[in-house]
Amino acid sequence: MSKLWQKSNTDTKTSAAKKAEAFTVGNDYLLDKELVPYDIQGSIAHAKALNKIGILSDDELGKLTNALHEILKEWKEDAFEIRIDDEDMHTAIELSLVEKLGDLGKKIHTARSRNDQVLTAVRLYEKEQLQEIKELIKTVAGAILEFAEKHQNVPMPGFTHTRKAMLSSVGLWGGAFAELLILQAESSQGIESLVDKSPLGSAAGFGTSFDIDREQEADDLGFSGPLICSTTAQLSRGWIELQFVQYLSGVTAVLNRFASDVIQFSSSAYPYFDLDAAVCTGSSIMPQKKNPDVAELLRGGYSELAGYAASLQMLTTNLGSGYHRDLQLSKEPVLKSVRKTKQLLEAAELLITNMKPIKENLAEACSSEIFAAEAAYDLVKEKGMTFREAYRHIGDHPEEVEDISAEEILKKYTHLGSPGNAGLEKLRKRLDLF
């Protein structure tokens, strides 16, 4: 079966050719299985553009569109195959069109290249996946916020340098992670604008002599508009993917720190949160063990995203303008990053909805040393000392720090974002906006 690039004098059956094929194709034909629907969307939009300039008649457009929908149906039924000798989904789809429609199927590639095809498919995929991930971020932020709201007046020690520092609260602790996720979702507008430009019609990066209506193609596909310069399309490949994966890496970085806290604060050394057995595993040798495996894998998952981002960064370093086969390798980090981010967000929701604070342990952990700053504040308010004088006095006389009820101290914190007023209602309003 011939390849899209094959000439009549090209022999692709030699041993060397087969080895080169295996190396150059790699697992790209397998990765493409996930992108077939997006490539079909692009092909339908392109067929409409060809019809508009008279390359396809109305009847031919109808037949091609119907055949493309048939291929999509086959894909949904897991009956559409992409073989290694196809190299990619583009070849497999075109060969299927030829099988169904004869020479008409060969017209679909007029005025386009596999370069703008794959770019279009990947950008459509990124647009769709970004919306799904934003919904998952909202779900997880909402679950953490609900946890914070339910337990907002439960005092807990705050830590710096892994040592007890000052009074905090479960509401403030949970609210902080919810707010980071809200900030991440709010910042998505930047990456959304990057992936919302259509590469279709840029062909191999230098346009074509066919008068393709690229703005109409972009509109048909739901993009805000086309990338203006055809050469921008090839320059953007890998560059936009890097920023897309870095965005996902930012999401999972929040989950990493959240998981680290859950692991610490559910340990025997810091028994502040109780994890349900559903999110823990046991040991094959130690009957007493209750291991926080969901949290540990959630923490570790971030390293995979950071690795994918690093891979893309190195891949695109020192590449000149135009297409380079290196860029084929930008696809896998994107697909894997999306899958991993979704898994980690789902695990984070599972974790937060299967844990609860151990109030008596948290109260006991709020020992007198965390009120040292409060004692210094009292000297400022009651004796007119400067804060620095009060600070030194308490530092020299730690015995003067009273062992006060954490619940009572919590009531003294009234400013926005403090342990007694975490501002959760404001976070709830922001969460509801997206």
151 is catalytic: no
- In angstroms, the CA 70 to CA 92 distance is 14
Crossing angle between the packed helical segments 293-315 and 331-352, to the nearest 10 degrees: 160
Residue 415 gets which letter from DSSP?
Answer: S
Altogether, the residues listed in the chain come to a count of 434
Element (H, E) at 160: strand 155-160
Q: Which residues of 195-215 are buried (b: 16+ CB within 10 A; e: fewer)?
A: bbbbbbbbbbbebbeeebebe
Going through 289-372 in order, the beta strands assigned E by DSSP cover 355-357
CB 387 within 8 A of CB 142: no
- In angstroms, the CA 110 to CA 72 distance is 21
Crossing angle between the packed helical segments 239-265 and 331-352, to the nearest 10 degrees: 30
**Which residue in the list 161, 209, 268, 415 is annotated as catalytic?**
161
Cβ-in-10-Å burial (0-12, 13-18, 19+) of 227 comes to buried
Residue type, 142: G
Residue type, 145: L
- In angstroms, the CA 154 to CA 410 distance is 9
57 is catalytic: no
CA proximity to 255, closest of 177, 151, 175: 177
SS3 content of the chain, % helix, strand, coil (to 5): 65, 5, 25
**Which residue in the list 193, 224, 283, 303 is annotated as catalytic?**
283
Catalytic residues: 161, 283
